[in-house]
Amino acid sequence: MNEKIFIKGASQLLGVNTQTLRRWDKSGRLKAKRKKSGKKNFYFYEMDDINDFLSENFSVLLKLAMKWSFSTVPIELPKKLYCPDKAIFKARLSRFEFDLSKNQKFNKIFSLIVAVAGEIGNNSFDHNLGNWRDVNGIFFGYNLSAGKLVLADRGQGVLTTLKRAKPSLSNYTDALTVAFTEIISGRSPESRGNGLKFVKEVVREYDFKLSFQSGDAILNLDKKGGLVIKNSDKFMNGCLAILTF
């Protein structure tokens, strides 16, 4: 059944005010449906329409991911964007792979795009297992026409998780550097932590772009500029990754 949601609920779900939704309705950007009760018209949306809108508007999708991951109290997310456990994430990743494989633009690289998304998402689950800050799971959304995807979590963050294996780490800049350049393990002599190094190599080789934030540090990675980490004035506990492909 296609769930119906009224304008106030839609504003909370999308992270915008009702005035913005009314402007989008008038412009045709996101049309609301009307239900008449007596002399009043009530505006409502169907969840399929909201999901389609988010899939086609990456700027709104990204804003929603950031609001969810940065906020003190997490907002409720559309079910299509929220993966509470690894099994659901794998199912959504399979759908992502199917959508990519049907797009001629990505027919030669879709498996690599899926592999990168899988490594980032699995990294969130693997490093926060039993240690989620408040809400378990990850945000996962994408826009194929823009060639972008976003993954986010409300976990412990890179610094906290890496300090378990490397206690000398003291800041997020160093933690991100280690995460993307070194193979470390908390169970010697086993080598663990290859995931983000794999992501780095794929991004550089295939001319993708990656922005990855944890704490007060943002890592930017592409083929031309290499790996650059800058400080952010906006702190987050978990991780937020934006991939352009």
The overall average pLDDT reported for the chain is: 92
> Do 9 and 129 reside in the same domain of the chain?
no
> Do 75 and 177 reside in the same domain of the chain?
yes
- Residue range 205-222: mean pLDDT, rounded: 97
In percent, the amount of the chain with pLDDT more than 70 equals 96
What's the pLDDT tens digit per position in 144-196? 999 999 999 999 999 999 999 999 999 999 999 999 999 876 544 444 457 89
Per-residue pLDDT at 215: 98
Per-residue pLDDT at 38: 73
The pTM assigned to this predicted structure is 0.90
Q: What is the 3-state secondary structure (H, E, C) of 180-216?
A: HHCCCCCCCCCCCCCHHHHHHHHHHHCCCEEEEEEEE
Contact 182, 169 (CB under 8 A): no
Give, for 35, the enclosing helix (H) or strand (E): strand 33-37
Per-residue pLDDT at 232 exceeds 80: yes
Q: Can you say whether the dihedral through the CA atoms of 7, 9, 12, 13 is positive or negative?
A: negative
What CATH number should be reported for the domain holding residue 232? 3.30.565
What's the pLDDT tens digit per position in 45-64? 999 999 999 999 999 999 99
> Do 172 and 66 reside in the same domain of the chain?
yes
Give the residue numbers spanning the domain of 83: 57-244
Per-residue pLDDT at 189: 42
* Token pair listed for 221: 């990675």
> Do 98 and 195 reside in the same domain of the chain?
yes
> Do 201 and 223 reside in the same domain of the chain?
yes
- Residue range 28-32: mean pLDDT, rounded: 95
The Cα 124–Cα 86 span in angstroms is 10
Band the pLDDT of 78: cuts 50, 70, 90: very high
> Do 159 and 48 reside in the same domain of the chain?
no
Per-residue pLDDT at 185: 61
* Number of domains the chain is built from: 2
> Do 105 and 29 reside in the same domain of the chain?
no
> Do 197 and 85 reside in the same domain of the chain?
yes
Per-residue pLDDT at 2 exceeds 50: yes
Per-residue pLDDT at 192: 45
- Residue range 213-225: mean pLDDT, rounded: 95
What's the pLDDT tens digit per position in 96-126? 999 999 999 998 999 999 999 999 999 999 9
> Do 93 and 167 reside in the same domain of the chain?
yes
> Do 166 and 129 reside in the same domain of the chain?
yes
